[in-house]
Structure formats: structure tokens, C-alpha cells
Structure 1
Amino acid sequence: MLELVNLSKSYAGGRVKAVDNVSLKVHQGEIFGFLGPNGAGKTTTIKMIVGLLQPDEGTILIDGINLEKDPLAAKRKIDVPDHPDVYEKLTGIEYLNFLGDVYQVPAETRRERLEHYLEIFELKDAVKDLIGSYSHGMKQKLVLTGALLHDPPVWIMDEPMVGLDPRSAFLLKDLMAGHWFFRPQV
């Protein structure tokens, strides 16, 4: 599902090595996390995986697709709920429908998934309100709902529990654990 081959990234003209020759494979159904102190290269690696930073060296394969050679196809295979920086002048449902349009989620599938995730994250009553009126935690849950809307095979998350209440954090962990139990195995 995700493979990094000899991935490296430097800053300060090559003097500071943030990521040094990292290789790993994360297989279907596995949950993998980076642990380490600030400055260890965790977020830099994640930013390279999602295409926000270009590696100095190495290859990133997402569900078998080379990120450098076919970035759009590779990015369709992932979700990236990071910081809840969303369009505050939109309502929650406008934001979610925008993402559904971007990811070309069919109307009936979109309706079913939105109903499911809005129920789980307790956003049904707030989804018609302007995002600018949401708390940080509500925005985080909206971003998660939007990220899961297109049912990506690979979930890339950088500190996804930040801003979530304990119940929502538990539910997200449950969703992560059950992700492959409910997907067709290819």
C-alpha cells in the first residue's frame, strides 16, 4: 500500500539532513506510525508522502503508483486530514460537497457516507452552519469526514487526534482498526 525506497530530504543547502535514506513498506491492513522527538523528520516524511515536499532522493509508491511519475493518481489513493484549515465562509455541507465533487464521489454514495460519518462524529446538526462558527474540534471532525468521503485505501494522518474529544478519538481509532475489515481485499 505504501512503500518508501531510500527516501532522503535535506535543508539549509544540504547541511541539515531531516530524513536520511528511509526505506519501509506498509502493507494492506497495517497501521504504521512514526515515533520520535521534535525534529526527527516525522512530519517531513509525511509531507513528502503526500506530495507537499519533494524528496532530494528516493521513491514513494502509494498503492503501487509512483508519486513522482503520476502524482494525481497517487494522491487519489490517500486522504490527508491534517490541520482543520477549511473555508470558513462555507457551510459544513458545502465544504463536504465540494470535496465530494473533487473526488468524484457519486451522489448516492456521497449521501450514504456523509450520513454515516456525520452521525459518527456528531455533526448532523451543525453541518448546515458556517464553518467559521465551529469549534476547533468540530473543524477537525469535519476535515476527517471530508477526508474519508472518497473511501481512500491509504490513510495518511499527522497527529489526527489533536483537537478531538475523547469519544471522537476513540471512534477514529475504531474506524482505523476496522478500515480493512470492510474493504474488498484486492
Structure 2
Amino acid sequence: MIEFKGVTKKYDNVIALNNLNLVIPAGKIFGFLGHNGAGKSTTIKSLVSILNPDAGQIIVDGKDLAEQRFLVKKMIGYVPDSPDIFLQLTAAEYWDMLAAAYEIKASEKATRIKELAGSFGILERQDEVMESYSHGMRQKAIIVGALLSEPDIWVLDEPLQGLDPQAAYDLKEMMKKHVAKGKTVIFSTHILDTAQQLCDELAILKKGSLIYNGTVAELLAKEPGKSLEQIYLELAGRKEGE
């Protein structure tokens, strides 16, 4: 279980995250929805220790992130919102770096790379510099790296962006299998159909504040006859005068 307790983050005078109180249970696919600038990436980057909140606590399986950061970070596999990182490395070098950071044995690393990179169709291209990859190929390489250590918690920021239909399908099936083991998947998306299809629970953010937390079914039940898109836009969309 992951708990956000009064988490606040400001950039200069702009409130990116405003007193976020949220519980993410284990064994669920948990989705974050919201317009650009709503606070989704700030929430995710706070959880994976890229950002430090100005106030509040983040508790992961009973561990205070601020006090046990190293232990918590080893529990998490993270896919950022852009795959344009470490482009000077080959995919194999990138995976080697992560394997060293997560202290993965060589035999386990080889098995995981064969399984993951093979399933995403990039095993034969692992010795090419990632700068030469397409956006989708870079995304696949980053996903393989994030899942290499078999982390309990997957934190995926727009993970399907740029993936071909087969890779997107495969990743969604992997997400479902992961939570079936009692593990956790957290992901953000702008694609409402994907959220409706995958998410056990949702959090909708607007201007740094939580405006909805619950299941898709509960949200749809609030407005019978309306689509998720219509309800979402009524909650999070631009109002007249904004």
C-alpha cells in the first residue's frame, strides 16, 4: 500500500500539488488522469524520488520514503514520461547500468533481458546506440530497464505513448499479470479508453488538487448515460472564464 499524506509541492508561486491525501492499495492497477499541468507527473516524480515535496509524507508498505529512500527506490520500477534519456548508451549498456544499481545477478539479468527484450522485439538490437532508435524503440528499451529487477511496484508515466499496437497490448497484459500476483501498477495516461479498460481505481487531478478517487464503475454510476470522456471533462475540463 502507498499513502500520500498532505503532500504539497510548489514551483515558485505555482502550486503543483496541493495537500494530496491518497491511498493506493496493492494488487491494483491505479491510474492518474488530468490535463497537462494537473499534477500527475509531480505526484509520480515525488514517489520515485526525483522531486522532494515541500510538505507531507509518502509511505510505501509502511516505510517513510524520506527516511528509507534507498529501500523504497529498490521496490520501484519507473518509466518516465519521455524515453529520451541516456541516448549515448546502447540498450545493453543501459540495462547493465540498471542491473548494477539494483544488484541483479548476471544470470538473472541475462534471463530477464532475453524474456523482456525478446517479447518487445528488441533483443537483436540491444547493441545499437539508443539515439539511433525510433521513439517507440526507445520506449521499449526504457520499459525493459524498468522491469529488469522484477520490482513490486511499477510506476509508468504515459507508458503506452509511441508503442506499436502489439507492444501496447503486451504491456497491458503484463500489467494485469503483475497485479494478479498482489503487486501494484501506477500509471498516468491521457487516453480515457485505456483508463476505462485497465484501471481498478482512478485518481483525477486538476490544478494540483485531487477531485476524484474511486473506480471507473463508481464514476460512471454518478452520471448514468454519460461516457467517461463526458464525465471527465465536466470534472477536469476547462470551465467558461478559465
Normalised TM-score (structure 2): 0.71
- 8 A contact 1:121–1:168 mirrored in 2: yes
Structure 2 unaligned regions, length at least 5: 184-242
Structure 1 residue 181: deviation in Å?
3.2
Q: Which amino acid aligns with 1:2?
A: I
- Distance of 1:170 and 1:89 partners within structure 2: 29
Q: Report runs of 4+ in structure 1 exceeding 3 Å deviation.
A: 180-184
Residue 148 of structure 1 corresponds to which residue in structure 2? 147
Residue 55 of structure 1 corresponds to which residue in structure 2? 53
- Distance of 2:157 and 2:40 partners within structure 1: 9
RMSD: 1.7
- Distance of 1:71 and 1:124 partners within structure 2: 32
Q: For 1:34-54, what per-residue CA distance to the aligned partner results, in whole angstroms no more than 9, with x for missing partners? A: 112222211111111111222
- Distance of 1:138 and 1:43 partners within structure 2: 22
Equivalent runs, 1:102-121 vs 2, <5 Å: 102-121=101-120
- Distance of 1:28 and 1:104 partners within structure 2: 24
Q: Which amino acid aligns with 1:167?
A: Q
- Distance of 2:120 and 2:30 partners within structure 1: 23
Distance 1:177 1:124, change over 3 A: same
Distance 1:108 1:33, change over 3 A: same
Structure 1 residue 182: deviation in Å?
4.7
- 8 A contact 2:90–2:128 mirrored in 1: yes
Identity %: 40
Residue 168 of structure 1 corresponds to which residue in structure 2? 167
Q: Which amino acid aligns with 1:4?
A: F
Structure 1 unaligned regions, length at least 5: none
Secondary structure at 1:151's aligned position in 2? coil
- 8 A contact 2:59–2:65 mirrored in 1: yes
- 8 A contact 1:62–1:77 mirrored in 2: no
1:6 corresponds to 2:10: no
Q: Which amino acid aligns with 2:142?
A: V
Structure 1 residue 127: deviation in Å?
0.9
Equivalent runs, 1:1-186 vs 2, <5 Å: 1-13=1-13, 16-82=14-80, 83-182=82-181
- Greater Rg by CA: 2
Q: Which amino acid aligns with 1:18?
A: A
The structure whose RCO (Cα within 8 Å, separation 6+) is larger is 2
Aligned residues: 182
